[in-house]
Every structure is written in structure tokens, then in C-alpha cells.
Amino acid sequence: MDFTVPLKKQPGKPKRGGEIAPAYDMKIIKLSFVPYLDQINAMVTQARAHEVTNAETNKQAVAMAGEAKRLSKRIEGQGSQLIEEPNQFVKSVRSFCKDFITPLGEIEADLKRKIGAWQYSVELNRREQEIRAQEAARELQKQLDAEAKEKGVESVTVITPVVPKQESVVRSETGTSSHIRKAWKAEIINEAQVPREYCSADMRLINQGIKMGVRTIAGVRIFEEIQTVLRT
């Protein structure tokens, strides 16, 4: 089978009513690729059935793979041509909108920082009040326990006051809402002190060592992988 058939004649854009069809009509675009289908199906069937058993069949396989790769590039190129103009339009619109979006994003980021700082300060203040209330309750409990022991009576249990938490969600009259999300995070300050169970091997450094000729690394399986490269 001649795998080069689709390469010899590139399907043109179908016309409708004597005029070129709209470039963004998917039905028309799909029709322009129909001539490839039968040929590709035949190529798939032949490639699956082909067995490499000697130098000649290996040469044939290389030729078949090369033609498949060339046809793939041709189709990819045709697709790229179809989307080149709309892509440029999309880029232009996004670039234009960015001039408006950037300052708005800066406004949002600045106000979110201020809102977060305020809400967090309120939460810290609540926590401080809670700690003071707990300490006061503990001191009072000690005092009552001592007086009860001195008088030989049962002590009274002090109930720790509950400091109400702030409203987690703040809503504006326009419908916008805001809330803070608290999450614990980590930052490495001394890599040498980090326990081994929290470390992982650096594949970038391992691969770099292998390229330089290293063939033995403890805990690593180094093997040779065969890769076939096609040039068309």
C-alpha cells in the first residue's frame, strides 16, 4: 500500500453556493478532513498486521512509520492553519482586556490583604480573651478548691466562660461575601535537620548523574531503555 497518497493531494476547503465556506463552521472543517479517513484506516490495518522478522521487513516498518509521521504532521499543520487566525484574535482580545483586568486584580488583592489582616486581628483578640478567661477560671477554681478543703466541704466547679467566635462570613449589601480560611503551612529553614521520612529523592539530580556516567546508586534501579527515533 502506498502510504503517501494523502500527502500527494491536500484536501481544499469545500465551497458552498459558489463561495468559500466560513472558516469556523465545524461541519465544513470536518468535511475537509474526510479524505484522510479511509487512507488512515488502511494504514492502521496494515501497520497492525506487519511483523518485523528480518532486515527487509524492518526497513518496510521504518518507511511505514515515517509516512504515518509525515501524514500526522500534514494534518496537524492543516489544523494549525485553521486556528491561526482565531488564535491571534483571542490573544489580541485577552491582551486588550488585561489592561482593564490588571488594575482591578490589584484592587482586589490589596483589599483582600486588608480584610484578612482585620479579620485575623479580630480572631487573635478573641483567642487572647479566651486564654485570659481560661486562666481566670483556673485561678478561681484553685481558690474555691482551697477554701472548700479548708472548710471540709465539696468544692464548686467553675464553668469557663465561652468567648463567642466572630461571624465567619461577612456579607455586604451588594451580595459580596468574605471569610478567612485558616491553614497550617510549613517553611524549611534548615534542610539538613529535616527528618528522612519527610525527604524524597531528587530525580533531576539522579538523571543528571546517569548522563555523566553513574551506573550504581543505592536504592535506585538504573537500566537501559531502547528508544526508536524517526526523522522525516
Q: In the structure grid, which three cell numbers stand for residue 168, read together?
A: 465567619
Give the pLDDT score at 182: 75
Categorise residue 194: left if φ over 0, alpha if ψ from -120 to 50, beta otherwise. Answer: beta
Q: What is the pLDDT at residue 11?
A: 44
Place of cell 471569610: 179
pLDDT number for residue 14 = 45
- Distance in angstroms (rounded) separating the CA atoms of residues 185 and 17: 65
CA 53 to chain centre: 44
pLDDT score for 127:
85
Average pLDDT per run of 10 along the chain, which is 232 residues long? Answer: 47 45 75 91 95 94 94 93 90 94 93 86 85 88 87 84 72 80 86 90 94 93 87 82
* pLDDT the model gives residue 208: 94
Distances (CA, A) of 40 to 27, 47, 64: 20, 10, 12
DSSP annotation string for the chain: --TTHHHHS-----EETTEEPPTT-HHHHHHHHHHHHHHHHHHHHHHHH----SHHHHHHHHHHHHHHHHHHHHHHHHHHHHHHHHHHHHHHHHHHHHHHHHHHHHHHHHHHHHHHHHHHHHHHHHHHHHHHHHHHHHHHHHHHHHHHHHHTSPPPPPPPPPPPPPPS-EE-TTS-EE----------S-GGGS-GGG----HHHHHHHHHTT---BTTB------------
Separation CA 200–CA 216 (nearest Å): 18
**What pLDDT is recorded for position 219?**
93
With contact defined as beta carbons under 8 Å apart, do 55 and 43 qualify? no
CA distance 105 to 113: 12
Q: Characterise 182 by phi-psi region: left (phi > 0), alpha (psi -120 to 50), beta (else).
A: beta
| Per-residue confidence (pLDDT) for residue 61, from 0 to 100 | 95
State the pLDDT at residue 158.
Answer: 82
Residue 88 pLDDT: 92
Model pLDDT, residue 160: 77
